[in-house]
Amino acid sequence: MYKDIERYIIDNKLKNESEVWPLLKYKITRKDTIDNDTTDMEYKSNSYIRILIAALISVINLFLSIFRRKEAVFFGALTRAKISSNGIQDEFIGKKLQGNCFFLYHCANFETINLYFALKQGVIFENVVVKIFNLISRRKYTKEFDGYLSNDFLALLKEKYDLSEDQIISLLVDFRLKRDAYKSIIQFLKVNKVLVVSSYTKPAIVSAANRLNKATIEYQHGLLAPFHPSYQYAGSTSWCSTFIPKEIVLSSNFWKHNMEKANFVALEGILLAQDAQSSINLDQQAVFDKLGYNNFVTFTGQGICYNEIIVFIKEFLIEYPNYILVYRPHPREHNNYTTVVKKVADPRLHVVDRNLLQNTTALINASKAHFSIYSSCHFEALELLGKTYVLDVMKNNLMQIDCKNDNIIFFKSVSQITNL
């Protein structure tokens, strides 16, 4: 998808362009994928009091970190974690590793967080801290990026992706401000390792850590190469940029095989989680017992395209009267998915969120079929169920990239589904 740009960078030995390309590529992908016609329903906090309390908690826990020496800092998202009086339950970091980690979380929805427990568990809300840092700093880097990228490269991005020089400079200035903030945080915490989820959305964290010569490790959270361009690069060696972690921990051999050909990190930096195959042996009956039914299909949401999803669910429930459809909300949706429930208005639509059942893989494993728009769950379904269904309603859907698997079934309407 971007190999012509990457070949241009490699062939012309462009150092600065190579450095910032991962950031620019993600922004271009986001712009092309989530266009003006795609409804994005991410929930964001509107309680300024809770945001101020979260800021105070973050400052307190940063100060207390002076007395709590740890080897690593984990940058995660509270959409994938739960804070309670018993500790932190995170989908990516097990109990063994937690004891030696500081926890810095991005939080867009403070309404669902128990702030008292966050204080007790030492949680720092990193997006709030960085916002405060940038307000205090007020430094500008616009002049620093004058002439940073070659005119020919800028002209190429304008021609191919309608990305202007002003837009690029704005991205780089914002990045630089954030990188300085994260550099200060990592130095203050005095850690040796920096752990992240979704490195392409956290380039400032990864770059700051790499420039400080810290070990940088990413934990897989979703689509990788060849379905996500942020994890695949042209050339014969791993891409040269501080924006990319040194290691990545993967969930299955499927992803390991693909990432070994992706030039994302060096081969020795591609690791397989020790419990990666455990999902195949999950006890389906335990899921049936918890849910109280067993003849169901699962739709894993992404918080987008609700209008199209509503049409699909209505058609499915009419066409398949003997099935229940389970809607599995994406963590970032919070309560926005209630729009789907209200407009479908059918008792055979059941929402199963993480409060009812934590393990999404277990839910897919127990399903008769899996549906989504784009998701790493498609590949879990391939492994567990043998096939998966893609509701094909998005332009430039990441699931379409290099897709040559007959068991990934694209459809626009329920009438196109056969042999469910």
pLDDT band at 142 (very low <50, low <70, confident <90, very high): low
Among 276, 298, 331, the domain-final residue is 276
277 has a pLDDT exceeding 50: no
Number of structural domains the chain divides into: 2
Query: The domain spanning residue 373 has which CATH number?
Result: 3.40.50.2000
User: pLDDT tens digits for 79-116?
Assistant: 778 898 988 988 788 777 788 999 999 988 888 789 99
CB atoms within 10 A of CB 364: 27
Compare 116 and 135 and report the one with higher pLDDT.
Answer: 116
**Is pLDDT at 233 greater than 80 in this prediction?**
yes
Sheet strands (E) in 190-322:
193-197, 215-219, 247-250, 270-272, 296-300
pLDDT digits (tens, 9 = 90+) for 302-333: 888 889 999 999 999 999 999 999 999 987 77
pLDDT tens, 16-46? 999 999 999 999 988 776 654 545 555 566 6
Q: Is there a single domain that holds both residue 7 and residue 151?
A: yes
Last residue of a domain, one of 242, 276, 310: 276
- Out of 231, 258, 276, a domain closes at 276
Same domain, 107 and 155: yes
pLDDT at 11 over 50: yes
Residue 377: domain span: 280-416
Whether residues 215 and 305 share a domain: the answer is no
Helices 151-161 and 15-33 sit at what angle, rounded to 10 degrees?
Answer: 10
Give the whole-angstrom CA distance, residue 373 versus residue 34. Answer: 12
Report which of 365, 413, 367, 366 is spatially closest to residue 390, judged by C-alpha positions.
Answer: 413
3-class DSSP state for residue 291? helix
* pTM score, whole prediction: 0.79
